[in-house]
Every structure is written in structure tokens, then in C-alpha cells.
Structure 1
Amino acid sequence: MAESFWGGQSQTLADLAVFGVLRPIRYLRSGRDMVEQTRIGDWYTRMESSVGGDPQG
């Protein structure tokens, strides 16, 4: 099974730090491109589900 997060099956501070930097731009064009056009999209979606809450809603 592939690792879900930097630390394996659970997040580490590294996951949370990167997610914290990327989350504010998620709904901007660059953020959409990042999630839709790169391999980070799957990780970002897992983080979003794990951390919870939608900053837009």
C-alpha cells in the first residue's frame, strides 16, 4: 500500500505545514492547477478530508 502522508499512514508536522501553506490558494487558479494537474492533488485531497472543514464554506 502506498503511503498516504509524509509520515506514512498518519500526518506529520511536515504534512500540516505544507497543507497550511497551500490551503489558502486552493481556490485560486494556481491552486486549482496544482490540485488538478500535479501528483500533489491526491495528497491534498487526503489532507483536506483528514483535517476537515472547507475554508470557503
Structure 2
Amino acid sequence: MNTRHLVSLVTGILIFSVLVPICLSIWLAHRQAEEKFVDALDNYASRVLIRTDRVLA
């Protein structure tokens, strides 16, 4: 294995090792935000249903 190939391999591994945690962090933040949004939407929908039942009753 020549030096040029080894340098390319090490550079690729370093870039990969930097990008993987960043991508995982973004993915986890997106997932957590989506879960919070769905919870808030469910809460809002349940309050709307309660108010609708009060109006109709």
C-alpha cells in the first residue's frame, strides 16, 4: 500500500468519524422534535374535543 493511498484512507476515515456523530445528533434532534410535536398536537386535539362536547351538551 503506497503512501498516497494510505493518506486517502486515513482522510476518509477521519471525515467519516466527524460526520457520523453530527448526522446522528441531527437525526435524534429531529426525532425528538417530532415526538414533542405529536404530543402537543394530541393534547390540543383532546382539548378541542372536550370543548366541542361542552358546546354540544
The reply to whether TM is greater than 0.5 is no
Bigger proportion of residues as helix: 2
TM-score range relative to shorter protein: under 0.3
Say which one has the larger Rg.
Answer: 2
Of the two structures, which has the highest relative contact order with CA contacts closer than 8 Å and spacing of 6 or more? 1
TM-score (normalised: structure 2):
0.28
